[in-house]
Structure 1
Amino acid sequence: MAGIGFELRKILKRDNLFSLLQAYSFAAVISSGPWILSIVGMLVIGVLSSTVVVPEFLIVQFQVSVTYVIACSLIFTGICQLALTRFAADRMFEKRFAVILPNLHAVILAVSVVGGSLGLLCVAFLFPEQSVLYRLLLLAAFVILCNIWVATIFLSGMKQYKEIVWLYLMGYGITVLAALLLRRFGLEGLLGGFVIGQAAMLLAMLALILYNFPAERFISFEFFDKRFNYPILMCIGLLYNVGVWLDKFIFWYTPGTSQTIIGPLRASLIYDLPVFLAYLSIIPGMAIFLLRMETDFVEYYDGFYHAVRTGGSLQDIEDCRNGMVETIRLGIFEIIKIQAIATLGLVVAGESILEWLGISTLYLPLLYIDVIAAGLQVVLLGVLNVFFYLDKRRVVLGLCLAFVVLNAILTRLSIALGPAYYGYGFAVALLVVVLVGLYVLSQKLETLEYETFMLQ
């Protein structure tokens, strides 16, 4: 997300309460806007279709189908997301701007062909009782979303943050409108509306990319050349997305905690609703994470390496390093503080919120632990982000691998221990990885000058 700090600094220079609120609001929209719009869009479709789509269970089938498409497409494209961003950044550093767009086309082609082939096998053999139209729409949604994630990460790397939010707003606006117009056709109508909206958003993203990047040729496969490969980044992207979704899949495919929705797709009502509400609580934490990382931390980070490159004094280098450390500590403390406030707010108002949403208050204990877990995930994002700045890819790989393994083991253990322990697997896995990450980060920052000068 490097670059958004320039916009935030301009706002903060006004030095008043309104500018501070504006900066936090801007950071919240940039960091959380796209997925909030997607969640709201799906909820609006469900609520407004409940009186038209008969039976109502078709709405649940639609929402579960979209959830699986989102999860699987994120995991699949995780392999290339970080690697593509790094490839584009390196080519920009080399001033080879004309090769970026052709390689993006190559990645989109590869994702579409490979993802489409895998998706075709899945819809052909795993959904024998569903209509051909449903299967084709599910396949189309998967391929389109795979390309949207690639385009989104590319635009993020190119600092097109405001444009991303507006494109998601447009895309999900069309999605809601198209789904409502087609809802009388049942499940296929809702899914068709989703595909239309996502296709429109993808086309708009590609048009923006084509407008901003020159190209000498249409397609190039340099990205797949082993000289430009980043296998560690590919593994990190895959493992992080697997780690985020793994506990959900375990709950979905454990018979005692889930039920069949459509074809092989299952859902866990006891687990999914609290997780959904918990993720809404991290919007302030994400805003703080983005604001701190892209203003204070980046300033000290740039100052540190500028002093190294230009022969600054040891005192200047140490001052910048100490500033980085202090910013990291302050950012993490503020994230923990704001999530603690969110948790206390849910303790006070949680029962009323669940009753207003028509959800059983038996979900309250799980909701509390999920809010804590979601906050820990924001802290983990902050830790990983710092390691990426320091180019400690192997450390990030180890943390993501530990996250996957611990989440799998502890989630299974929590299910075996009974409902009172649901959610603790995900939370404890994140807690352990965060603590280890903070310890390693502390060690790396202590030896930062040595590694910068002596290991080149």
Structure 2
Amino acid sequence: MAGIGFALKKLSNQDNLASRSLAGGHAILISSGPWIVIMGGLALLHVLGQPILDPEELKIFSILVIYSFALSLVVTAPVSLEATLRVSRILFQRRFEKVQGVYLAALFATTVLSLAGGIIVFFGLIRLPTVLGVAALICVLQVSQLWLAMAFVAAIKQYAAVTSAFALGLSCSIVFGTSAAALGHGPAGMLLGFSVGLCVAFCILNYLIIRTFPGKLAPLREVLGMLGTMRPTSATFVLAGLCSALAVWIDKIIVWHSVEATSVTEGLFYAVRYDSPMFVAYLAIVPVMSILVMWLETTFFDNYRHYRDIVHSGGTLRQIDEQRSQLAQDTIDTVFTAFLVQLTISAALAVMAPFVAELLGLPFDAISVLRLALIGSAFHFLFQASCGVILFVQYGKAYLWLQLGFLLLNGGCTAVMLRNPDYLGLGYVLACMVSGTLAYAAMRRTLNSLNRLTFVVNNPAVRA
């Protein structure tokens, strides 16, 4: 969905610093909104909670937030990708009244799946105390709903309201989280307070979606009946979404079950030498990724739409191929330039790793992991950017194979490199380098064969 591109384009085209900054900031929230809220709130609550909770309780809170984030992303990714495909088709057909039904059905599915997954993980596998388990379950539910809402927010133009929703949600997370901990409710209270802020952000986004796409509210029985008869628009994209979410977390899961892990309570593991450096590295790619998202949603979308318009208006083969060639060259140049910028930023941060580690309070032995994570994240950016273009033109098979390849490489390389503690983080680097290079090559090939993709692969008449 590229509706948000109109708002971003309006801002970025204005020749003043404030408008361009707003466009960049909104693109950051569109691409990484829940991630920013969760990591920012987690960091602030960790600092503010030090005088209130003991270190062990703070660790339990932080680990449960990370677990909730990982589980929610795995649960939500297939549902949100399927919903995005459906809404894209509906918007193209201008049947705007159908969007709300898809959203509510996806929201119901997300709620059920996140609750089921949370019960299995927190009560079945980890066996948390009841109060703490319920707090973690609520956190998973709120993060999952927030991820789904973000998939639909991409079709809304109210950039100021979206940005305000995240700002208000983050503020509420800090206020309610610290208040609950100060009242003596421990990590469970802080987790519930943190979830309240997420709920506030979700409620605002939910209101914007419902107001932007009004429709007749069907009874719950009809919604359940519709869900029972629904079949995935593309099983390929649903499977790819699941692989994509698992690929991001498979290395952490493997490390959490290795000698690097430390157990806070039964079944609750974390790896201090791995987790924090990886999250810092992920945050390092957010600024450049946001710029690329803004470019995808504005310039690339306009050029791709122009290409499609030529195709649908009966343009000559020469006109079609000229536009395809121009689109391909501009995209390849932009993605590669963005990668070089990200690689430069990551390399600079890697050189300053001792200073960054001291600033963030990371242990000394985490510096080498931080350097590797930063370099790996640059190639992870290349992978994500290339896959984003492939997903935009809806080449499902290529997208699935790339996500599956990254999942296997990230898991396999991490497991192999764990045999030597000095190589911690190297598996992620190798997986990202190989996957990023393959994704970039696949993107080039996809753009060069865009005519075949348009006329044959994605043509319903030919598929029939």
- TM-score, structure 1 length as denominator? 0.91
* Matches of 2:201 and 2:388, distance apart in 1: 28
Question: Matches of residues 47-66 of structure 1 in structure 2 within 5 Å?
Answer: 47-53=47-53, 55-66=54-65
Indicate the residue corresponding to 1:442 in structure 2.
444
Offset at 1:400? 0.8
Question: Matches of residues 116-155 of structure 1 in structure 2 within 5 Å?
Answer: 116-128=115-127, 130-155=128-153
Indicate the residue corresponding to 1:215 in structure 2.
215
Alignment pair present for 1:304 and 2:307: yes
Which residue among 233, 239, 245 is the counterpart of 1:235?
Answer: 239
Offset at 1:24? 4.1
Question: Matches of residues 396-411 of structure 1 in structure 2 within 5 Å?
Answer: 396-411=399-414
Contact residue 346 and residue 378 of structure 2 kept, 8 A: no
Structure 1 residues 235, 295: closer, same or farther in 2, change over 3 A? same
SS at match of 1:215: coil
* Matches of 1:181 and 1:19, distance apart in 2: 36
Indicate the residue corresponding to 2:37 in structure 1.
37
Structure 1 residues 365, 452: closer, same or farther in 2, change over 3 A? same
Indicate the residue corresponding to 2:76 in structure 1.
77
Offset at 1:208? 2.4
* Matches of 1:428 and 1:352, distance apart in 2: 25
Question: Matches of residues 159-308 of structure 1 in structure 2 within 5 Å?
Answer: 161-184=159-182, 185=184, 186-218=186-218, 219=220, 220=223, 221-222=225-226, 225-226=229-230, 229-254=233-258, 256-308=259-311
Structure 1 residues 263, 166: closer, same or farther in 2, change over 3 A? farther
Contact residue 301 and residue 324 of structure 1 kept, 8 A: yes
Structure 1 residues 357, 438: closer, same or farther in 2, change over 3 A? closer
Contact residue 289 and residue 378 of structure 1 kept, 8 A: no
Give the partner amino acid of 1:183. A
Give the partner amino acid of 2:331. I
Give the partner amino acid of 1:116. L
Offset at 1:177? 0.3
* Matches of 1:135 and 1:49, distance apart in 2: 20
Offset at 1:118? 3.9
Q: Residues 312-366 of structure 1, C-alpha deviation per residue, up to 9 Å, x if partnerless?
A: 3444323322222222222222222222221332244222222233323432322
Give the partner amino acid of 1:273. S
Q: Residues 123-143 of structure 1, C-alpha deviation per residue, up to 9 Å, x if partnerless?
A: 434455x53221221222222
Contact residue 414 and residue 424 of structure 1 kept, 8 A: yes
Give the partner amino acid of 1:407. N
Structure 1 residues 216, 266: closer, same or farther in 2, change over 3 A? same
Structure 1 residues 372, 96: closer, same or farther in 2, change over 3 A? same
Indicate the residue corresponding to 1:433 in structure 2.
435
Contact residue 178 and residue 190 of structure 2 kept, 8 A: yes
Offset at 1:453? 4.0
Q: Residues 36-92 of structure 1, C-alpha deviation per residue, up to 9 Å, x if partnerless?
A: 232111111111110121x22101110101110110011011221100111122223
SS at match of 2:329: helix
Give the partner amino acid of 1:180. T
Contact residue 354 and residue 367 of structure 2 kept, 8 A: yes
* Matches of 1:93 and 1:295, distance apart in 2: 17
Contact residue 254 and residue 415 of structure 2 kept, 8 A: yes
SS at match of 1:270: coil
Structure 1 residues 333, 106: closer, same or farther in 2, change over 3 A? closer
Structure 1 residues 72, 454: closer, same or farther in 2, change over 3 A? closer
Alignment pair present for 1:354 and 2:360: no
Structure 1 residues 204, 278: closer, same or farther in 2, change over 3 A? same
SS at match of 1:391: coil
Q: Which moved more, 1:9-18 or 1:206-215?
A: 9-18
Structure 1 residues 378, 3: closer, same or farther in 2, change over 3 A? farther
Give the partner amino acid of 2:250. L
Give the partner amino acid of 1:239. C
Q: Residues 207-228 of structure 1, C-alpha deviation per residue, up to 9 Å, x if partnerless?
A: 2222222222335354553455
Contact residue 278 and residue 367 of structure 1 kept, 8 A: yes
Q: Which moved more, 1:273-282 or 1:288-297?
A: 288-297
* Matches of 2:439 and 2:361, distance apart in 1: 39
Contact residue 335 and residue 375 of structure 1 kept, 8 A: no
Give the partner amino acid of 1:209. I
Question: Percent of aligned positions with the same letter in both sequences?
Answer: 26
* Matches of 2:456 and 2:150, distance apart in 1: 37
Structure 1 residues 352, 69: closer, same or farther in 2, change over 3 A? same
Question: Matches of residues 107-118 of structure 1 in structure 2 within 5 Å?
Answer: 107-118=106-117
Structure 1 residues 304, 210: closer, same or farther in 2, change over 3 A? closer
SS at match of 1:214: coil
Offset at 1:22? 5.9
Q: How many pairs were matched up?
A: 452
Q: Which runs of 5+ in 1 are unaligned?
A: none
Alignment pair present for 1:367 and 2:365: no
Q: Which moved more, 1:7-16 or 1:55-64?
A: 7-16
- Report the RMSD for the aligned CA atoms in angstroms: 2.5
Q: Residues 107-159 of structure 1, C-alpha deviation per residue, up to 9 Å, x if partnerless?
A: 3223323432343344434455x532212212222222222222222222445
Structure 1 residues 401, 52: closer, same or farther in 2, change over 3 A? same
Contact residue 275 and residue 367 of structure 1 kept, 8 A: yes
Structure 1 residues 126, 300: closer, same or farther in 2, change over 3 A? closer
Contact residue 380 and residue 430 of structure 1 kept, 8 A: yes
